[in-house]
A = this chain, B = another copy of it.
């Protein structure tokens, strides 16, 4: 099993979720994060003091999928999250050694 970590623009969240579901992913977990990268944050001004907001709001999706499903899932995220503009985000793939569904105790692919 692999953990797919996708960092995308917040307004793409729903599109990406739907794409993943379309690719057979049945569950995922989302966090609100702040990203730093090529895309620069905006400037806030308060009484003359400028605050360069170095971080840009992003959302991080994490989905654990079967090895076989990784390719399709990655493609789905790529297609759904892309706008072609700087800051579209990244996808990382990490190996997962075990997965357990708390409710049933199922493990491995059955737990996803």
Q: Which residues of B contact A34 (CB under 8 A)?
A: 29-31
**Count of identical protomers in the assembly:** 3
Q: A74 an interface residue at 8 Å Cβ cutoff?
A: yes
Q: A91 an interface residue at 8 Å Cβ cutoff?
A: yes
B31 contacts A36, CB within 8 Å? no
Q: Which residues of B contact A112 (CB under 8 A)?
A: 90
A111 contacts B94, CB within 8 Å? no
A89 contacts B74, CB within 8 Å? no
Q: Which of B31, B82, B95 contacts A102 (CB 8 A)?
A: B82
Contact with B along A26-51 (1 / 0, CB 8 A): 11111111111110000000000000
| A binding-site residues for B, Cβ under 8 Å | 2-3, 6-8, 14, 17, 26-38, 54-55, 58, 60, 64, 74, 77-78, 81-103, 105, 111-112
- Give the top 8 A-B pairs by smallest Cβ distance, nearest first: A27-B37, A88-B103, A93-B98, A88-B102, A91-B100, A30-B34, A31-B33, A93-B97
